[in-house]
Amino acid sequence: MKIAVFNAFSGLAMMVAAASLGAQQPAASESVAVEYPPVYRVELIVFSHADGRSDRIRGAGPLDFTDRSDPLLVARANAMAERQLAGLAGFLPVARVPGEIRETTPYLQSQERTLRPIPPVYSALGDLSRPIQRAMDRLLDAPEYDPVTARAWIQLAPRNRPTAAMRIHDQTVVDRVEPEDGQSLVPVPNVLPFGPLTEMPPPALDIYRLDGTLRLRRRQFLHLDLDLAWQARARGLANRMPPTEESAAVTSGTESGQGEWQLHRLQQSRIVEPGRLEYFDSSLFGVLVLIERFEQVVPEIEIPEPQPATPNTPTQQQSADPVTNSGG
């Protein structure tokens, strides 16, 4: 069982912009305007209510979101690719060092800040913006809330085109799914089209206590689809009743609660506005989402035109021409 780890590298910003974000150098004619699709930075915090009461339902098993794109795994693949490219740059003069910024490096521009080079799309970012960080600080100081996870990434959302549902989860593993042959560790077949760089056997696919997806899509307005589940094994009914000799044979197979789960689910979809802190709520946990819109900028490098020679002044080439000076 092997997988292809796709190569998305922030250092080679020109290639990332060209393939991941559709960046193309402007045409030679100044009359041709190049338009780039908007890029969105998505950030969210999931927090639980300290006194929240779950409207959970019983289920035969946990909800499985392992086939969705996980920004954490994409970031892991990016880091692996950058290490390999850095090694190649050591002995290949044509290889660029990841993270190198040049005057032609594209960048993302919003009203408040600039991102240069362009971060890899759909990859978990290592930092939070100031508004989300302030919200996190307030949640940490409030005894009635308990932050569970936070995530940030960059993505496209073309108008009237399907987009990837990004996986959101905490770090508490409640179950595992054994991978099938050919199942990808980074399930983003059309996001990072550079690979494969390396192949490795996939680990077991984890199912988390908090697990689900966030999808950003754009029609006339920007929409956000949220599907999160809080799930845990439920203790079997036999564990809450005194065992008897007659029921011992029946309950022995359910003492561990196998096949019985308690699921609390938050499913909401609505129009969102970039730059505004959006709040999604349930009886057990809440979600804060901030979306920031960026425009892509590809610098244009102007090449100076050569200065024409003065007609009355002979050029250096004419005065030094051996054929002209020899007379024949």
Name which of 91, 74, 92, 79 is nearest 11 in CA terms.
Answer: 79
- Tokens linked to 29: 């004619």
Give the model's pLDDT for residue 94.
Answer: 64
In a domain, 75, yes or no: yes
Q: Does residue 276 carry a pLDDT above 70? A: yes
**In the prediction, which pLDDT does 139 show?**
95
DSSP 62: -
* Domain contains 286: yes
Position with higher pLDDT, 61 vs 192: 61
- Cα 244 to Cα 10, 103, 287: the distances in Å are 63, 78, 45
* Residue 222 counted as domain residue: yes
Average pLDDT over residues 137-143: 95
Question: What is the tally of structural domains in the chain?
Answer: 1
Residue 129 within any structural domain of the chain = yes
Q: What is the Cα–Cα distance from 222 to 159, expressed in whole angstroms?
A: 9
Nearest to 201 by CA among 186, 190, 185, 216: 185
Q: Which helix (H) or strand (E) holds 319?
A: helix 316-319
What are the backbone dihedrals phi and psi of residue 212, each rounded to the nearest 5 degrees, phi first? 160, -160
Residue-averaged pLDDT of the chain: 74
Q: Which of 4-18, 164-178, 255-269 has the highest mean pLDDT?
A: 164-178
What residue has token string 């003069």?
Answer: 93
Q: What pLDDT band is residue 282 in, cutting at 50, 70 and 90?
A: very high
Q: Is the pLDDT of residue 249 over 50?
A: no
**pLDDT value at position 13?**
30
pLDDT at residue 14 greater than cutoff 50: no
Q: Dihedral angle at the C-alpha atoms of 128, 132, 136, 139, nearest 10 degrees?
A: -170
Task: Indicate the SS3 state at residue 147.
Answer: strand
Give long-range contacts, CB 8 A cutoff, 24+ apart: 216-219. Answer: 216/40, 216/42, 216/155, 216/157, 216/163, 216/291, 217/157, 217/162, 217/163, 218/157, 218/158, 218/159, 218/160, 219/159, 219/160
Task: Evaluate whether residue 31 is within a structural domain.
Answer: no
The predicted model gives 166-186 an average pLDDT of: 81
Peptide bond into 119 cis (omega under 30): no
Statement: residue 237 has pLDDT above 70:
no
* DSSP conformation letters of 237-279: GGGGS---HHHHHHHTTSTT-TT-EEEEEEEEEEE--TTS-EE
pLDDT at 5: 35
Q: What is the pLDDT of residue 6?
A: 34
Q: Poorest-confidence range of 70-84, 95-109, 305-319? A: 305-319
Min mean pLDDT across 99-103, 239-243, 306-310 is at 239-243
pLDDT score of 17 more than 60: no
Mean pLDDT of 28-57: 78
- Dihedral of the alpha carbons of 19, 21, 27, 31, in degrees to the nearest 10: 160
Beta bridge partners of 223: 217, 271
Domain that holds residue 229: 3-20+38-241+255-300
65: in domain: yes
The answer to whether 41 and 128 have CB atoms below 8 angstroms apart is: no
- Highest mean pLDDT, choosing among 22-31, 47-56, 265-274: 265-274
> What digits encode the pLDDT tens for the residues 287-300?
999 999 998 888 87
3-state secondary structure of 308: coil
For residues 34 and 22, is the Cβ–Cβ distance under 8 A? no
- Amino acid 66 reads T
Of 55, 64, 47, the residue nearest 262 (C-alpha): 55
What pTM does this model have?
Answer: 0.70
CB atoms within 10 A of CB 318: 11
pLDDT band at 168; cut points 50, 70, 90: very high
Separation between Cα atoms, residue 302 and residue 30, nearest integer Å: 12
Could you tell me the pLDDT band of residue 199, with boundaries at 50, 70 and 90? very low
Residue 32 domain-assigned (yes or no): no
Task: Let me know if residue 317 belongs to a domain.
Answer: no
